[in-house]
C-alpha cells in the first residue's frame, strides 16, 4: 500500500517505521524539517517538507496515487481538515485521524472518519489496569468503546453456569471459552470450571458489570 503520514511527531515517526517495515510505501509530511530526525535511520521511505493544507505539498506526497492517509499531528483541527480533504477531495479509501483533545472528538466523528483517540483510550486503559485485576483487555476496537476481555474463572465460580454469571446483565457478548487448550462457544448452560478463560466482547460499562458479578461470588 501507498500511505501518507501527516505529522512527524513521536506517533508519526513510529507509525512510519512500522508501516515501512511491513512492506508499505510510506511518505511522511511535516512543516518542520527538523521533525524528520525523529524517524529511525532504518526507514527508507520519503519525506516531504511543507504545510499539509497546501495542495502542492499533498501532490508532492503523491496523494492522487495513495491508498491511505493518517493525520497524526498534535492539532485536532489540522488533522480534521487534512483527513476530510483526503476523503472528500481525493477519495482515499482509508483515512485515519488522530484525536488529541477528547472534547473535540464529537467534531471529528461528525466527519465520519476513523478516529484514534489516544488520550481517552490511554486514560481508560490505565483505569482498567488500576481497578480491573480479574480481567484484562486483549483487543481494542475503535477508540476503546468495545474491547475483547479475557476473564479467568476463580474457584468460587467452579461448577456454576455461564448463564448465572451473565444473566440480567447487558453490554457484553461471549466470544469463546478456553479450557485445557481447546476453545468452545459458551452457552447459558455451559458449566464453568476453575481456571477457564472466557473472552467477552464488551463496552466499558458492560465489563464493569461483569467484574462486579464475578467478584460478588468470590467475596461471598
Question: Is residue 172 within 8 Å of 201, Cβ to Cβ?
Answer: yes
pLDDT at 31 over 50: yes
pTM exceeds cut of 0.85:
no
Q: Is 17 helix (H, G, I), strand (E, B) or coil?
A: helix
Domain ranges in the chain with CATH number 3.30.70.1450:
132-219
Q: Which CATH class is domain 2-120?
A: alpha beta
Angle at 143 between CA 111 and CA 125, to 5 degrees: 155
In the chain, ranges of CATH 3.40.50.720 domains:
2-120
- Please check the confidence at residue 133 and state whether its pLDDT lies above 50: no
Q: Which range, 86-90, 144-148, 180-184, has the best average confidence (pLDDT)?
A: 86-90
Assess contact for 95 and 83: CB atoms under 8 A. Answer: yes
At residue 94, the 3 state secondary structure works out as strand
pLDDT of residue 66: 96
Q: How confident is residue 134, by pLDDT bands cut at 50, 70 and 90?
A: low
For the domain spanning 132-219, the CATH number is 3.30.70.1450
Amino acid at each position: 500500500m501507498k500511505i501518507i503520514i501527516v505529522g512527524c511527531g513521536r506517533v508519526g515517526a513510529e507509525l512510519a517505521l512500522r508501516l515501512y517495515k511491513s512492506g508499505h510505501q510510506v511518505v511522511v509530511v511535516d512543516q518542520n524539517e527538523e521533525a524528520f530526525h525523529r524517524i529511525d535511520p532504518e526507514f527508507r521511505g520519503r519525506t516531504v517538507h511543507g504545510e499539509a493544507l497546501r495542495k502542492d505539498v499533498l501532490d508532492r506526497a503523491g496523494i492522487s496515487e495513495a491508498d491511505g492517509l493518517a493525520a497524526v499531528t498534535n492539532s485536532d483541527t489540522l488533522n480534521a481538515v487534512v483527513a476530510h480533504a483526503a476523503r472528500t477531495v481525493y477519495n482515499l479509501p482509508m483515512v485515519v485521524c488522530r484525536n488529541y483533545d477528547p472534547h473535540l472528538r464529537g467534531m471529528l466523528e461528525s466527519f465520519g472518519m476513523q478516529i484514534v483517540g489516544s488520550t481517552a483510550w490511554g486514560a481508560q486503559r490505565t483505569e482498567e489496569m488500576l481497578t480491573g485485576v480479574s480481567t484484562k483487555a486483549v483487543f481494542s476496537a475503535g477508540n476503546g468503546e468495545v474491547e475483547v476481555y479475557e476473564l479467568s474463572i476463580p474457584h468460587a465460580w467452579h461448577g456454576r453456569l455461564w448463564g448465572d454469571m451473565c444473566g440480567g446483565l447487558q453490554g457484553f457478548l461471549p466470544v469463546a471459552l478456553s479450557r485445557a487448550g481447546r476453545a468452545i462457544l459458551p452457552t447459558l448452560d455451559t458449566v464453568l470450571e476453575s481456571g477457564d478463560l472466557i473472552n467477552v466482547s464488551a463496552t466499558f460499562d458492560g465489563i464493569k458489570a461483569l467484574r462486579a458479578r464475578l467478584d460478588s461470588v468470590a467475596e461471598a
